[in-house]
Amino acid sequence: MWKWLHPYANAEFTYQFCGKSLRWFALLTLLCLPAGLIWALMFAPADYQQGDAFRIFYIHVPSASLSMGIYAAIAIAGLCSLVWQLKLADAFGAAMAPVGALFTAMALITGAFWGKPMWGTWWVWDARLTSELILLFLYLGIMALHSAFEDKAQGGKAAAILSVVGVINLPIIKFSVDWWNTLHQGSTVTNMGKPNMSIDMLWPFLLSFLGFFFLVAVLVIIRYRTELLARNSMRPWVREIVLNSQK
């Protein structure tokens, strides 16, 4: 039943396939992301309560949910690496981690810039912010572990263990931070929930979400191909590609 997946476990096939799909993802990114963000900046209505600062939302929410999605993908890749010994899963995890860290940082930065005018403070130890910050540390840990090993295969396995341990702990972190926050909260209840969106706002939001998703694909594919070359540098297919590329 899974036979159709088998070619993708082959490094050369995946390298070529990703190379071909890169231009499609890049095209989709260039179609969706600028359109979505320009719509958000210029054409979407200002929020009734929050005014034009609400436009930060169109970057903030996509990057926050993508940051969590990317971590889930890294954890699944770590599992594949440990259970089925798929070497490509190591490379995939190594490729995704910096992208995930970027999106987490973007979520935190846009959140801070949104929070200052809206709620008067750059940072607050809200459950969501705190667990997003811890997620950033998890990403940085995975990146650091990958780069600390000379042997990329060894580093990949270690990072796979870390990502699996981290994903088990992620709900515990969220739960405990939520508990901590609700216990320590003063009389004000910060409402950072997703606002009900009118259709005027939904379309730019969806478009920019798609655009960011395709951007993730582009960034990950570029890094993934680099990892594949680096981890398979002795193979004949790599030699052929490297010697033929004139760049």
Partner 1 sequence: MTSLSYRKAFMLILKRDLTIAFRHRDDIINPLLFFVIVVTLFPLGIGPEPNTLMKIAPGVIWVAALLSTLLSIERLFKSDYADGSLEQMLLTPCPAFILAMAKVTAHWLLTGLPLILMSPVLGLLLNLHQDAYRALMLTLLLGTPILSLFGAIGAALTVGIKKGGVLLSLLVLPLYIPVLIFATSAIDTAAFGLPYNGQLAIIAAMLAGAITLAPFAISAALKVSTN
Partner 2 sequence: MQFESFSAFLAMGGYGFYVWWSFGLCFALTGILYWDSKVRHRKTVEAIRSKILREQKLKKVAQQQNQI
Measured in residues, the chain has a length of 247
**DSSP letter for each residue of 193-237:** PPPPPPHHHHHHHHHHHHHHHHHHHHHHHHHHHHHHHHHTTTSHH
| Given 55, 60, 157, 223, the residue binding partner 1 (CB under 8 A) | 157
Footprint of partner 1 on 74-93 (CB under 8 A) = 82
Q: How many CB atoms lie within 10 A of CB 16?
A: 14
Residue with tokens 């931070």: 177
Instruction: Choose the stretch contacting partner 2; rule: CB under 8 A; options: 7-15, 83-91, 189-197, 215-223.
Output: 215-223
3-state secondary structure (DSSP) of residue 51: strand
Contact between 72 and partner 2 by CB under 8 A: the answer reads no
Nearer to partner 1, 130 or 208 (CB): 130
Binding residues with partner 2: total (CB under 8 A): 43
In degrees rounded to 5, what are phi and psi of residue 235? -75, 150
**CA separation for the pair 242, 228 (Å, rounded):** 12
Radius of gyration of the chain (CA): 20
Contact between 141 and partner 1 by CB under 8 A: the answer reads yes
3-state secondary structure (DSSP) of residue 13: helix
Instruction: Choose the stretch contacting partner 1; rule: CB under 8 A; options: 4-12, 97-105, 151-159, 193-201.
Output: 151-159
Q: Are 190 and 124 in contact (CB under 8 A)?
A: yes
Residue type, 52: D
Contact between 237 and partner 1 by CB under 8 A: the answer reads no
Nearer to partner 2, 59 or 145 (CB): 59
CA neighbours closer than 13 Å in the CB half-sphere of residue 191: 5
The contact mask relative to partner 2 for 3-42 (x = CB under 8 A, - = no) is ----------------------------------x---xx
Give residue 175's Cα distance to chain centre. 21
Instruction: Choose the stretch contacting partner 1; rule: CB under 8 A; options: 28-36, 49-57, 62-70, 161-169.
Output: 161-169
Q: Which residues bind partner 2 (CB under 8 A)?
A: 37, 41-46, 51-53, 55-56, 59, 63, 98-99, 102, 105-106, 109-110, 112-114, 116-117, 215, 218-219, 222-223, 225-226, 229-230, 233, 238-239, 241-243, 245, 247
Q: Which residues bind partner 1 (CB under 8 A)?
A: 82, 134, 137-138, 140-141, 144-145, 148-149, 151, 154, 157-158, 161-162, 164-166, 168-169, 172-173, 175-177, 179-180, 183
